[in-house]
Amino acid sequence: MPKEERVEDVLLFNDCTLPRLDSLFDLEQIRPCPLLDEWLNTQSDISEFERQVLGLMREKLIVGADDWNEVELAYNFIGPIMSFVNFTGRKCNFFAERPFSGNVEGITMRGRPDGMIASGVRVPGEPYFCFQEYKKEKNPEGDPAAQVLAAMLTAQEINGHRHPVYGCYIKGRDWFFLILREKEYAVSEPYIATREDIFDIFRILKSLRRIIFTMVGEESAHS
């Protein structure tokens, strides 16, 4: 694919598509990806209590997934899952719809990802994980994969390319996990939260918590 001429000075996350990002920044989607596989396959213990709570959440999603709007999906399912994992520490936190921007190869990238995990407690610092959510499974507006990848590219610049950037986007009951390192990115197959996959989703998020807590030097990185 010929590289697109970069005529814009500012590119909003919401205006991005995967072909546009691939062309603008010479990105390559790879498969397989050892870094993504390592993250997705890392084991984390899930207690019986956690299994019971996740089972209740799954039943609620089964009933509501086809009818909830984006905000209802966030309040009733995604938010409780993220809170249950607990990304809040002394040096990092989960933030929602906080604006951030950065310069990627001469283009100012700007937007408000639906969620991100970043250093800092009251205000976000360096972002490590970008999250695009609240998208309905049927006819979602925009390209959630490209929107989260645009945020990840910006996060990579803010972090000075020191480590991979993690991401996720959701379309209804389907969760997709991403990883970006330099010019290469990978996207997982969907994990379907109305099935047994909900336990894998929770395990993957718990593994992400350990990864990020280790990055920022949290004492509870192995909890």
Give tens-digit pLDDT for 21-42.
Answer: 999 999 999 999 999 999 999 9
Q: List, for residues 91-126, the tens digit of each pLDDT value.
A: 999 999 999 999 999 999 999 999 999 999 999 999
31 — phi, psi (to 5°)?
Answer: -160, 125
- Out of 51-55, 105-109, 131-135, 170-174, least confident range: 131-135
Checking if the pLDDT of 76 tops 80, the result is: yes
Calpha distance 91→140 (Å, rounded): 34
Sign of CA dihedral 207, 65, 118, 154: positive
Checking if the pLDDT of 186 tops 70, the result is: yes
Between 9 and 58, whose confidence is greater?
58
The pTM for the full model equals 0.91
Mapping DSSP to helix (H, G, I), strand (E, B) and coil, where does residue 158 land?
helix
pLDDT band at 170; cut points 50, 70, 90: very high
pLDDT band at 9; cut points 50, 70, 90: confident
CA angle 147, 170, 94 (to 5 degrees): 80
Computed over every residue of the chain, the mean pLDDT equals 91
pLDDT of residue 138: 52
Q: List, for residues 110-168, the tens digit of each pLDDT value.
A: 999 999 999 999 999 999 999 887 655 555 567 899 999 999 999 999 999 999 999 99
pLDDT of residue 8: 56
pLDDT of residue 202: 98
pLDDT band at 220; cut points 50, 70, 90: low
